Amino acid sequence: MKNRLYNNALKYSTYEKLKGKTPKLNRIRVFGCAAFVLNQNPKSKANAKASTAIHLGCDDHGAYRLEDLITGKTIYSRHVTFDEESFPGWRRVILQAEVNLETIS
């Protein structure tokens, strides 16, 4: 999303000024939605073919930036399927807020 939003003062986006063409927004997905990353090198057929992650944004080189829910590591991948109706990261935020409220009381 960096430099791709319309600027009222300029009457165009910064991207248009730099590149001379309108930005492609077809790769933009809902921030924080569930994402399923294809496991490129499974150790056996019994291993999962995809891992669950949270969408964090897009890379400038065509990859999506994701946080793996199991390991907590940041992943960059192009082989991703999104569920833009599900937000697994919000459960963690809500649970943390409830714990903080209990400790204050």
Fold classification of 31-104 is SH3 type barrels. (2.30.30)
pLDDT tens digits for range 26-38: 777 888 888 999 8
Coil, strand or helix at 52: strand
pLDDT above 70 covers a percentage of the chain that reads 72
Structural domain spans, the chain: 1-28, 31-104
Query: Region 59-68: what's the mean pLDDT?
Result: 85
| pLDDT in the model for residue 96 | 63
**Structure-block tokens of residue 69:** 């829910």
Overall pTM surpassing 0.75 (yes/no): no
- Tell me which of 48 and 74 has the higher pLDDT: 74
Give yes or no for residue 50 having a pLDDT over 60. Answer: yes
pLDDT tens digits for range 64-86: 999 998 888 999 999 999 988 88
